[in-house]
């Protein structure tokens, strides 16, 4: 399979569907997630009241759970929405922001993985390694100080968890245990902006709503988002003008560009 063309095809289909992506997410980067969803071609909804969890997720194409500013109330809503999504066959993406930074985050992420059928677990190296039980040290919510074979961590954890595991960083690793991919799109400026990890999860949510193949869809999402970062960086004078350009580039990303510039490799 030509992965760049497959990426382009999946992205194009997503735009045709304009999927509603239900987020239960943090209050730091929530606006960025809403806007990147729109720029990618999806429709965002952010809702976390337990009273409406089952109704909201039922009209969504995917559910994105992000524990960036978790609390007891949000966790209860995540469980309720996740269980309903599972019943309805709606894909669930989990972004375990800050897993490893505190026991509360690590344990909550593990509990969500245990209790819900998560389609895609997407974190940075530290977060994924923590949940995989590797020796990893996470400082705050954005560190990557993880040693060991990153791909092996993803593969092993995918087998054990039954999820597609995506580990983002300078290179993104995606594995479902049986198949693994590397995505080499992206730009160093993405590390200088709060929320690019959360935004990536939003784009993954948009893509996996297609329910064709969550692993390939995740790789396609990370390639498309990374490519938007590359395009955005062309004209940026600093982190925040880059951020503006990233959104514009996501909106303007052409399917033909994806087909020629996506760098997704099956291992």
Q: Which residues sit at the interface with a second copy, rule CB under 8 A? A: 20, 26-32, 34-35, 38-39, 43-49, 51-52, 55-56, 59, 68-73, 98, 101-105, 139-143, 192-195, 237-241, 243-249, 251-252
Can you name the residues that pair with 168 across neighbouring β-strands?
124
Unique residue bearing structure tokens 């996506």: 262
From CA 212, how far away is CA 216, in angstroms rounded?
8
Complex with a second copy: residue 174 or 198, whichever CB lies closer: 198
Tell me how far, at minimum, the Cβ of 100 lies from a second copy, in Å.
10
Do strands 62-66 and 43-46 pair parallel, antiparallel, or not at all (unpaired)?
Answer: unpaired
Closest CA to 131 of 147, 111, 152: 111
Complex with a second copy: residue 38 or 255, whichever CB lies closer: 38
Distances (CA, A) of 50 to 57, 84, 170: 11, 12, 37
**Do 164 and 119 touch, CB atoms closer than 8 A?**
yes
Tell me how far, at minimum, the Cβ of 6 lies from a second copy, in Å.
26
Complex with a second copy: residue 16 or 149, whichever CB lies closer: 16
Tell me how far, at minimum, the Cβ of 60 lies from a second copy, in Å.
8
From CA 198, how far away is CA 196, in angstroms rounded?
5
User: Which residue pairs, CB below 8 angstroms and at least 24 apart, start in 72-80?
Assistant: 73/48, 74/24, 74/48, 75/108, 75/111, 75/112, 76/50, 77/24, 77/48, 77/49, 77/50, 77/53, 78/24, 78/112, 79/112, 79/115, 79/116, 80/50, 80/53, 80/54
Q: Which residues contact 102 (CB under 8 A, 6 or more apart)?
A: none
Complex with a second copy: residue 104 or 117, whichever CB lies closer: 104
Tell me how far, at minimum, the Cβ of 151 lies from a second copy, in Å.
26
Tell me how far, at minimum, the Cβ of 107 lies from a second copy, in Å.
9
Complex with a second copy: residue 76 or 267, whichever CB lies closer: 76
Tell me how far, at minimum, the Cβ of 68 lies from a second copy, in Å.
7
Complex with a second copy: residue 142 or 184, whichever CB lies closer: 142
Complex with a second copy: residue 177 or 195, whichever CB lies closer: 195
Tell me how far, at minimum, the Cβ of 182 lies from a second copy, in Å.
26
């Amino acid at each position: 399979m030509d992965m760049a063309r497959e990426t382009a095809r999946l992205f194009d289909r997503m735009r045709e569907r304009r999927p509603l992506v239900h987020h239960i997410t943090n209050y730091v980067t929530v606006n960025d997630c809403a806007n990147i969803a729109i720029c990618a071609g999806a429709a965002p909804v952010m809702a976390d009241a337990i009273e409406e969890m089952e109704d909201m997720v039922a009209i969504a194409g995917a559910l994105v759970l992000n524990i960036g500013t978790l609390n007891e109330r949000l966790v209860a809503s995540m469980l309720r929405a996740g269980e309903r999504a599972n019943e309805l066959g709606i894909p669930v993406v989990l972004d375990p922001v800050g897993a490893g930074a505190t026991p509360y985050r690590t344990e909550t992420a593990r509990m969500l993985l245990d209790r819900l059928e998560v389609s895609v677990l997407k974190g940075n190296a530290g977060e994924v390694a923590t949940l995989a039980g590797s020796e990893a040290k996470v400082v705050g919510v954005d560190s990557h100080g993880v040693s060991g074979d990153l791909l092996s961590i993803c593969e092993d954890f995918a087998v054990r968890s039954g999820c597609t595991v995506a580990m983002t960083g300078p290179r993104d690793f995606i594995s479902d245990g049986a198949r693994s991919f590397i995505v080499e799109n992206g730009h160093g400026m993405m590390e200088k902006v709060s929320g690019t990890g959360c935004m990536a999860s939003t784009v993954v949510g948009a893509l996996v709503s297609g329910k064709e193949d969550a692993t390939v869809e995740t790789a396609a999402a990370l390639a498309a988002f990374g490519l938007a970062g590359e395009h955005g960086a062309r004209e940026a004078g600093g982190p925040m003008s880059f951020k503006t350009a990233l959104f514009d580039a996501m909106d303007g990303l052409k399917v033909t560009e994806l087909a020629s510039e996506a760098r997704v490799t099956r291992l």
